[in-house]
Amino acid sequence: MKTFVLKDKDIKRKWHLIDASDKTLGRLSTDIALILSGKKKIFYSPHQDLGDYVVLINAKKVTISGKKGKNKKYYHYSGYPGGLKSASYESKFEKNPEWVIKKTVSGMLPASSLRSKRLSRLKVFLDEKHPYENNLKEN
């Protein structure tokens, strides 16, 4: 029996609309990561990029559980002595909710050369307005 490999011209990408209102960040991120990686398709293969597009609306209405708002920290190191910076979840989410969601989805995707291609298919919007209505209707 031969291994079936799907050719690039045969890959069909769908568009998925996800409303993030009152959903937990972690559970929402795992669902998005599954769609972006193509694990819900019958021809899934870890070395191929078979995932779909995801349009996430109402990103500013995402919730988290427990005390993570104050306790969760994001770190950034510049590479210089004394260059370690930290920020809480609340401050990062207040400034840029799109970055926080993309960061959590990125952490749930495999660390391979396909990660950036998969993340580029994630479109995050703070409210319900988005320019992808036509793409969603074609599915």
Q: What is the pTM of this model?
A: 0.90
79-89: per-residue pLDDT in tens? 999 999 999 99
Mean pLDDT of the chain: 93
How far apart are alpha carbons 55 and 36 in whole angstroms? 11
Share of the chain above pLDDT 90, in %: 80
What residue ranges do the domains of the chain occupy? Answer: 12-65+97-134
| Average pLDDT rounded to a whole number, residues 41-53 | 90
Residue 18: exposed, middle, or buried by beta-carbon count in 10 A (0-12, 13-18, 19+)?
middle
For the domain covering 12-65+97-134, report its CATH number.
3.90.1180.10
Phi, psi of 133 (to 5 degrees): -60, -40
Contacts 24+ apart (CB under 8 A), 135-138: 135/15, 135/53, 136/15, 136/17, 136/55, 138/15
Is residue 1 scored above 80 in pLDDT?
no
25-37 helix and 97-108 helix, angle to the nearest 10 degrees:
60
93-136: per-residue pLDDT in tens? 999 999 999 999 999 999 999 999 999 999 999 999 999 999 98
Do 60 and 127 meet the contact criterion of CB atoms below 8 Å apart?
Answer: yes
Do 25 and 69 meet the contact criterion of CB atoms below 8 Å apart?
Answer: no
Reported as a pLDDT band with limits 50, 70 and 90, residue 31 is very high
Is residue 139 scored above 90 in pLDDT?
no
Do 105 and 119 meet the contact criterion of CB atoms below 8 Å apart?
Answer: yes
Quote the pLDDT of residue 45: 87
